[in-house]
């Protein structure tokens, strides 16, 4: 295993590439915490290949991006779960629905 040091942030990446680039720029100005990460050799080799291909400028950037994408995925999953719950509630009590026209 290889030790790698990365800086982490809580900023989530967006599906829109332009928004994602903007998010990556904002990461540079956010407060960060240095953490140690242990990865299997084959994952480090994959990260290094992505850097060689120009997908990322560093291991730190790659790991930060991957964590941000995972974080965004989890927020989307939680949001979807909430929509399903509210949909079930609405099916049980349709009178509780608010017409979109009434939402300001």
Q: What is the pLDDT of residue 15?
A: 43
Residue 98 in domain: no
- Check pLDDT > 50 for residue 4: no
Residue 82 in domain: yes
Q: Count structural domains, the chain.
A: 1
What is the 8-class DSSP label of residue 42? Answer: H
Residue 99 in domain: no
Residue 10 in domain: yes
Residue 20 in domain: yes
Residue 70 in domain: yes
SS (H, E, C) 43-72: HHHHHHHHHHCCCCCCHHHHHHHHHHHHHH
Residue 7 in domain: yes
61-94: pLDDT as tens digits: 999 999 999 999 999 999 998 888 888 877 888 7
33 near 41, Cβ under 8 Å?
Answer: no
Domain interval for residue 58: 2-93
Residue 102 in domain: no
8-63: pLDDT as tens digits: 344 443 345 555 555 555 555 678 889 999 999 999 999 999 999 999 999 999 99
What is the 8-class DSSP label of residue 28? Answer: T
Distance, CA of 57 to CA of 65 (rounded, Å): 11
């Amino acid at each position: 295993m290889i030790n790698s040091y990365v800086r982490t942030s809580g900023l989530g990446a967006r599906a829109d590439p332009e928004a994602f680039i903007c998010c990556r720029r904002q990461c540079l100005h956010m407060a960060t915490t240095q953490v140690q990460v242990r990865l299997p050799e084959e994952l480090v080799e994959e990260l290094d290949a992505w850097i060689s291909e120009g997908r990322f400028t560093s291991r730190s950037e790659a790991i930060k991006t991957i964590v941000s994408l995972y974080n965004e995925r989890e927020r989307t999953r939680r949001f979807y779960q909430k929509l399903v719950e509210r949909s079930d509630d609405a099916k049980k009590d349709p009178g509780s629905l608010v017409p979109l026209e009434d939402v300001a």
